[in-house]
Structure 1
Amino acid sequence: MRINNQSSLDDFILLGFSDRPWLETPFFVIFLVAYIFALLGNISIILVSHRDPQLDSPMYFFVSNLSLLDLCYTSSTVPQMLVNLQRPEKTISYGGCVAQLYIFLALGSTECILLAIMAFDRYAAICKPLHYPVIMNQRHCIHVATGTWISGFANSLVQSTFTVLTPRCGQRVIDHFFCEVPALLKLACTDTHVNEAELNVLGALLLLVPLTLILGTYVFIARAVMRIRSAESRWKAFNTCASHLLVVSLFYLTAISMYVQPPSSYSHDRGKIMALFYGIVTPTLNPFIYTLRNKDVKAALRRALTKEFWRKKYFKAIFQL
């Protein structure tokens, strides 16, 4: 890796795959394709959820919030990764690193809470069907979603501030693809036990507590589903919950392995793999998990594509007159 002598001393150097340069071109192609699919998939979910009246329900309101999160999540890191994979200078400005740290952490924190809210929505729909319209009315959903976003960004403000203020003694080489808390704390030249304790406490609150609530909620959901007499209704409820559980598994398992551990025991190679998984793979797969396993979303996408096809055909016929 060549370091540009003109780069500011405040800039950070993101090593990424610099120790394995033969991987840079293949990974550039993989990341680019994954990013394009993430953009197309999440934008499609957002559009059909808001434009199709048959998806006007709390469940799809929160699904569209998840897609917006994933859309921003990948956009906060992947473009910079793609740029660095194609140039010798693997740098990011100090301001860019701080912004990336704050936004990435804020969106990840918000997603932790949102996934728990989505589990509660499924619990209310399946276990409390008669009270569901009251419990999850539009006003409540908007308030809950707003509170979720505010909580995530507030948590990020605390964690990113603690991380940025940690003395680095001029160290600026980050053995990672982007600016993340565990990787930045490895640059610290002072004792980081306070930072580690703060990271573990907030990590437990935002990861383990929501995950526990999700698992507990699904115990009640499973009991309610087993009491449903109609096999078709039982399968529909199971299918919807299975999609959410798969998303929860993909996100939480990798995030917990990164944030509920002391950064002093942080393994660079494992950290990179986990970061790629929850930073790129999960946001790319989420919209396809919900569309491929959900008949309502697939039907809405078909209606949207059909309308667009006939609209283009209509305008083409007019221009040919």
Structure 2
Amino acid sequence: MARQIEPEDRREYTIKIIPHQGETVHSIRVPRRLFKYGLASLAAGALLFVGAASFATYSAFSKASDKSEISELQQVNTMQQEQLSQLSKKANTLQDQMDQIHQIEKELQQISGAIPDVEAAEPAHDGQGGPWVKPDVKNVRMALDNIEQRLEKSRANLEAIRSALAEQQQIAALHERLNASTPTIWPSSGDVSSPFGMRWGGSDFHPGIDIANDYGTPIYAAADGVVTEAGWNSGGYGNMVDIDHGNGIWTRYGHAQEVVVSAGQTVKKGQVIAYMGSTGFSTGPHVHYEVHVNGEIVNPANYLF
């Protein structure tokens, strides 16, 4: 006899529940169609659960990540604001220092006589004002650029002042050397007993001046120089000293009682070179003093102050 085949939608699944220790076995018959629907529903539910759980996990992670990122951005912004504030204070400090340097520049310009910078001149008025603008990166950078430009100007001004001062020092040194080598001091103390020029009713030309005082009165070098002659002169000067001062100038000191320098010796202005006496053609203690310039004898009085 042929086996009757049940329709597909009438076939069943039997689920047996077998407890432990020989208890009653329970059987549950589930139509195949219902079983398929149940599995499909279970799978769909599982997928929905997994999707929901994944979305919830993603949302939670995303929120945590966004919160962390926002927190980091806030920290970075706070640090940038603090750095900007410190930079603004530093720029302000540099501005104050530049103002101090500017003041020093003006003082040095007055001392040196250097031409002042027109733009750096002191303003006649000091009114101030304007809106309050919070510092940001742009305007702080502008302030620093301005300080850098002022620094370059100050450097140039100070360089000009240094050059002016160096030139003044050179001129001063030259003047000092010229003054030191120019016979501008009296060779001794006393009275002018005979001036430069004609004397004794026109019978004699006197090529110097005579300064009379007591025996032993010190005789000084009228300027820096090198002794070219020191000792006895048979031409009427007696004990005599000649000093070459350079630049074509030399001086002579005659009739000394004693000479205390020697030929070739370097002497300084005001240094004692001899002591007053009355040697050679002389009527009493005095020093005969001559000045020669470029081979010409000149009036010593033109150099004495």
TM-score (norm 1): 0.21
Q: Highest Rg: 1 or 2?
A: 2
Q: Which has the higher helix share?
A: 1
TM-score (norm 2): 0.22
Q: Which has the higher strand share?
A: 2
